[in-house]
Structure 1
Amino acid sequence: MALAPKFAGQRFAASSAAPTLHTLELYLDYVCPFSAKMFNTVYTSVFPLIEKKYASKVQILFRQQIQPWHPSSTLVHEAGVAVLKLQPSKFWDFSKALFDEAKSFYDVNVVNETRNKSYERLAKIGAKVGLNEKEMYDLLYISDKPDKDGSLNTGNQVTNDLKVLVKMNRMQGVHVTPTVVFNGVVENNISSSFSGEQWEEWLEKNVV
C-alpha cells in the first residue's frame, strides 16, 4: 500500500537514493506489549542489519494500528500523528521513546486520568527526542467548550489525519497487532518474539 507524503516519517529506508525492491509493513499499537517487543527488536537489530546489508533492497513502514478496546490507544496514536506534522524525521525516535514508557498509558494507569493530562505527558515524551513540547501539546489539546457552530465533537488538530490512517488500515482488514505485511501479503511466519538472529535468517531467505 502506498504511503502519503504527509505520513512519510513512518518510512524507514537506509538509502533514499537507491531503489527499494521490498517493503515490510509493521502494523503496531503503542499500547500493545507484543507490538513493543517487535518494535524494539526491529529498532535495535533490524535497522542496523538493513543499513549494512539491504540498504538498496528493503524499506520498513510503521502502520499505526489503533486497538479501540484500549481507550488510550487513540490518544497515543494521535501523538504519533502530531510528530508526523511537526518533525517527521523524529517519528521513529519518538515511537521508541513512547514504547519505552507505554505501560504508563495502559488501561489501569490512565483510567482516572483526563484526556488532556495524557496529552501533556505525551508532549513531554516528544520533548525528550527534540520536539517542541508546547507545539505538540497544542496540536493534541481538546477544548472543553463548544465550537463556534455549537459542535461538541470538536476533535483536535490531528483528528483529520488520524481518520485517514484508520481508513487506510480498515481497507487492509488488519486486526491483530503486531501484523507484518511483506510486499503486500500478510507474513504470518514473523512473530513478535523474533530475535535479531531470526530476523536476519528471514531476510536472508526472502530478500533477493
Structure 2
Amino acid sequence: MTLQPRFVGQKLLAATSQQPQHTLELYIDYVCPFSAKLFNTFYTSVKPVIIQKYQQKLQVIFRQHIQPWHPSSTLTHEAGAAVLKIAPDKFWEFSAALFSHQKEFFDVSVVNETRNDTYQRLAKIAATVGVDEHEMIDLLRISEAIGDGQLNSGNKVTNDIKLMVKSNRIIGVHVSPTVYFNGVEEPNISSSFTATQWEQWLAMNVA
C-alpha cells in the first residue's frame, strides 16, 4: 500500500536514488507488549543490517496501528502523528523512546489522569529526541472551552488518525504486530523473531 505523503516520516530510510524493489510494513501499536518486542529487536539489531546490506533494495514502513481496547493507544498514536507533522525525521527515534516508556501508558498507568495530562507526558518524551514540546502540546491538547458549541471536535491530529485507521481497516489488519511484505501478510515474522532469524529472512527474501 502506498504511503500518504504527510506520513513520510514512517519510512525508516530516506528515499534513495532508485525505488527499492521490496517493501516491508510493520503494523505496530505503541502500548502492545508484543509490538514493543518486535520493534526493539528490529530497531536495535535489524536496522543496522538493512542500512549496511539492503538499503537500495528494501524500504521499511512503520504503520501506526491503534488497538482501541487500550484507551491510551489512541493518545500515544496521536503523539506519533504530531511528531510526523513537526519533525518527521524524528519519528523512528521518538517511537524508540516511547517504547522504552511503554508501561507508563498502560491502562493502570493512565486511569487516574486527564487526557491532556497524558499528552503532557508524551510531549516530554518527544522533547528528549529533539521535538519541540510546546508544538506537540499545541497539536495534541483538547480545548476545555466550549467556544462555538463543538464539544467533540478532537485535536489538530484527529484527521491524520482517521486516515491511519481507515487505511488499516481497508486491508483488515487486526493483530499487533502484523508484518506485510510486498503487500502480502508475512505470518512467519512474529514478535519472537530474533536478530538471527531476521537476518536469515532478509537473506532469503531480499538479497
**For this structure pair, what is the TM-score category when the shorter chain's length is used for normalisation?**
over 0.9
Cα offsets for 1:134-182 (capped at 9, x unmatched): 111110000122242x111021000011111110111010000000000
2:113 maps to 1:119: no
For 2:90, what is the secondary structure of its paired residue? helix
1:9 and 1:89 in contact (8 A); partners too: yes
Q: What is the alpha-carbon distance in structure 2 between the residues aligned to residue 15 and residue 75 of structure 1? A: 29
1:147 and 1:154 in contact (8 A); partners too: no
- TM-score, normalisation: structure 2: 0.98
CA separation of 1:14 and 1:89: change in aligned 2, threshold 3 A: closer
2:131 maps to 1:131: yes
Given residue 108 of structure 1, which amino acid in structure 2 is its aligned partner?
Answer: V
Q: How far apart are residue 17 of structure 1 and its match?
A: 1.9
Query: Number of paired residues?
Result: 207
Q: How far apart are residue 46 of structure 1 and its match?
A: 1.1
Cα offsets for 1:102-121 (capped at 9, x unmatched): 10000011111110000000
Aligned residue in 2 for 1:171: 170
Given residue 72 of structure 2, which amino acid in structure 1 is its aligned partner?
Answer: S
Q: How far apart are residue 27 of structure 1 and its match?
A: 0.3
Uncovered stretches (5+) of structure 2, i.e. residues with no partner:
none
For 2:63, what is the secondary structure of its paired residue? strand
Please list, as runs of the form range in 1=range in 2, the aligned pairs for 1:6-21 lying within 5 A after superposition. 6-13=6-13, 16-21=16-21
Q: What is the alpha-carbon distance in structure 1 between the residues aligned to residue 84 and residue 76 of structure 2? A: 13
For 1:181, what is the secondary structure of its paired residue? strand
Q: What is the alpha-carbon distance in structure 2 between the residues aligned to residue 67 and residue 147 of structure 1? A: 31
Q: What is the alpha-carbon distance in structure 2 between the residues aligned to residue 14 and residue 198 of structure 1? A: 25
Q: What is the alpha-carbon distance in structure 2 between the residues aligned to residue 59 and residue 153 of structure 1? A: 37
Q: What is the alpha-carbon distance in structure 2 between the residues aligned to residue 157 and residue 191 of structure 1? A: 34
1:41 and 1:196 in contact (8 A); partners too: yes
Please list, as runs of the form range in 1=range in 2, the aligned pairs for 1:1-208 lying within 5 A after superposition. 1-13=1-13, 16-148=16-148, 150-208=149-207
1:14 and 1:51 in contact (8 A); partners too: no
Given residue 193 of structure 1, which amino acid in structure 2 is its aligned partner?
Answer: S
CA separation of 1:161 and 1:147: change in aligned 2, threshold 3 A: farther
Show structure 1 runs of 4+ deviating over 4 A.
none
- TM-score, normalisation: structure 1: 0.97
Q: What is the alpha-carbon distance in structure 2 between the residues aligned to residue 55 and residue 78 of structure 1? A: 29
For 2:27, what is the secondary structure of its paired residue? strand
Uncovered stretches (5+) of structure 1, i.e. residues with no partner:
none
